[in-house]
Structure 1
Amino acid sequence: MPLTTTGDLVTRARAAGTAVAAFNIISLEHVEAVVAGAEAARAPVVLQVSENAVRFRHGRLLPLARAALAAAERAAVPVALHLDHVRSDLLLHRAGDAGFSSVMYDASHLPYAENLAATRTAVDWAHGQGLWAEAELGEIGGKDGRPPRDAHAPGVRTDPDEAVAFVAGSGVDALAVAVGSVHAMTTRTAILDHALLRRLATALDVPLVLHGSSGVPDPELRAAVAGGIAKVNIGTALNQAMTTAIREYLGAHPHAVDSRSYLRAGREAMARTVERLLTGTGLTGPAPDRP
């Protein structure tokens, strides 16, 4: 199926009252698992490469991007490529040539005025390249191994009035909001502020994105989609599935040395996780176009 764009998937999902799932990929096994899970669920999906993943791959973007692009072009469901949590302008400027249709520029660690200025510059560049641009306002936390702040502490969550000004001033196409989720959670215990989410959805005219969704239980995710979230980012859940499956395989086969055996187990576990999340939480995305 021809490669689609993140902007198209998210815009159409929002119009349909659904959300599209965006999964962070690190390895070829992640790529194959996400596509297989999406095909099993018959749902569109976004493959995301984060700046951290690029750093893990020795700073090289193209090997993983080319693998994702090849898998997306051969998938039986619509697949888009997204460059996630970019802080490096050098990496940002490589997005278009690497096949990405969208970027998430992350200056959320900066004070508001600096975040706005940096995001405005990044968005202007992205739009000039035909790229859809996402940014973050508030403190979702949990990135880079740093301990997160309480997701409901004062000043952490996204303020609706500030968000309106930020969207208008930055020109972003979508906004990741802090409403109670945290990056890198390994337990699904996050409780979202649905009243705040409704206020944000009412106040803003751009799609809303939920980061740190691995720690959000299914009922909370379904409520978030119903409340206005149009893109849901998931990463840690895949890594948990893969690591657990590999541990179990090696525990049962202590003399195994062929990496294909345990990587297959990890890949299949991730694919099952993708399918379950897509079918069980309303992350079905827009209905596919009919010929």
Structure 2
Amino acid sequence: MPLVTTRELVTRAAADHSAVAAFNIITLEHAEAVISGAESLAAPVVLQVSENAVKFRYGRLHPLARAAVALAERAAVPVALHLDHVQSDDLLRQAADAGFSSVMYDAARLPYAENLAATRAAADWARSQGLWIEAELGEVGGKNGVPPLDAHAPGARTDPAEARAFVADSGVDALAVAIGSAHAMTERTATLDHGLLKSLATAVDVPLVLHGSSGVRDDELTAAVAGGIVKVNVGTALNIAMTGAIREFLAAHPEAVDSRKYLSVGRDAMAEAARRIIGLLGR
């Protein structure tokens, strides 16, 4: 099946009142596992490569991206490729020729006016390249080891009036909103503000995205999709599954040295984690 675009998958999900799962990949095993999980449910999926993942891969985007494209083109389900949490303009400009159909430009750390200006410039460039662009308003937090903001701290949640103006003035195609989740959560204890989500869904006319979904319980996640979330980002849940499975395998088999033995166990665990999450979203 040919590689599809993120725009196509998100548009389809919005029309169906469902959400598309978007998983952050770091290794080839991550990508294989996500596609396997999606294929088991005959569901579309987005593979995401973050700026942090690129840094881990010695700053080289193309090797992992090309592997993801090759897997997507051979998948039995529609797969799109998304460049996630990009702060570097240089990396942003590598997206178009690396197989990505979309990018999340992350200037949410900046004051509102600076975030808007930087995002507007990124959106103008992305549109000239035919790329779908996502941005963030408010602060989901929890990236790079920095604790998330307190739920009531200024700027911790996305303001609906600001969101309406930001979307109109920046020209973005989707908006990641801060409604109570946080990146890199290893326990599923996040409580989402569904009243705020309802106000945001009314205020803006572009798809809404939930980041930090690994820390959200199943019931909270399905309620978020019912409330207007159309793209659900997941990363840490895969890493928890992989690490736990490998740790258990090596504890049971201390003599193991063939990396294929434990990587296959980790890959299977990630595939099951992906399958479970995709199954929640309605497709």
Q: Aligning the two structures, in what range does the TM-score lie when normalised by the shorter sequence? A: over 0.9
For residues 50-61 of structure 1, what are the structure 2 equivalents within 5 Å? 50-61=50-61
8 Å CA contact 2:21, 2:281 repeated in 1: no
Q: Which residue of 2 aligns with 1:200?
A: 200
1:257 aligns with 2:257: yes
Structure 1 stretches of 5 or more lacking a match? 285-291
For residues 24-39 of structure 1, what are the structure 2 equivalents within 5 Å? 24-39=24-39
**Moved >3 Å (runs of 4+):** 151-154
Q: Which residue of 2 aligns with 1:134?
A: 134
Letter matched to residue 96 of structure 2: G
Q: Which residue of 2 aligns with 1:289?
A: none
Q: Which residue of 1 aligns with 2:220?
A: 220
Letter matched to residue 225 of structure 2: V
For residues 102-251 of structure 1, what are the structure 2 equivalents within 5 Å? 102-251=102-251
TM-score with structure 1 setting the length: 0.96
Question: What do the CA deviations read for 1:261-282 (whole angstroms, capped 9, x no partner)?
Answer: 0000000000000111111x22
Query: How much has 1:152 moved relative to structure 2?
Result: 4.2
Query: How much has 1:283 moved relative to structure 2?
Result: 4.7
In structure 2, distance between residues paired with 1:154 and 1:123 = 26
Q: Which residue of 1 aligns with 2:89?
A: 89
In structure 2, distance between residues paired with 1:18 and 1:266 = 29
1:74 aligns with 2:95: no
Structure 2 stretches of 5 or more lacking a match? none
In structure 2, distance between residues paired with 1:213 and 1:52 = 18
Instruction: Return 84-93 or 8-17, whichever deviates more.
Output: 8-17
In structure 1, distance between residues paired with 2:45 and 2:214 = 16
8 Å CA contact 1:151, 1:182 repeated in 2: no
Query: How much has 1:210 moved relative to structure 2?
Result: 0.2
Question: What do the CA deviations read for 1:159-183 (whole angstroms, capped 9, x no partner)?
Answer: 0000000001100000000000000
TM-score with structure 2 setting the length: 0.99
Tell me, what secondary structure is at the counterpart of 2:58?
Answer: coil
Query: How much has 1:196 moved relative to structure 2?
Result: 0.3
Letter matched to residue 255 of structure 2: H
Query: How much has 1:153 moved relative to structure 2?
Result: 3.3
Letter matched to residue 184 of structure 1: A
Q: Which residue of 1 aligns with 2:8?
A: 8
Q: Which residue of 2 aligns with 1:273?
A: 273
Query: How much has 1:154 moved relative to structure 2?
Result: 3.9
Query: How much has 1:12 moved relative to structure 2?
Result: 1.3
In structure 2, distance between residues paired with 1:275 and 1:67 = 21
Tell me, what secondary structure is at the counterpart of 1:176?
Answer: strand
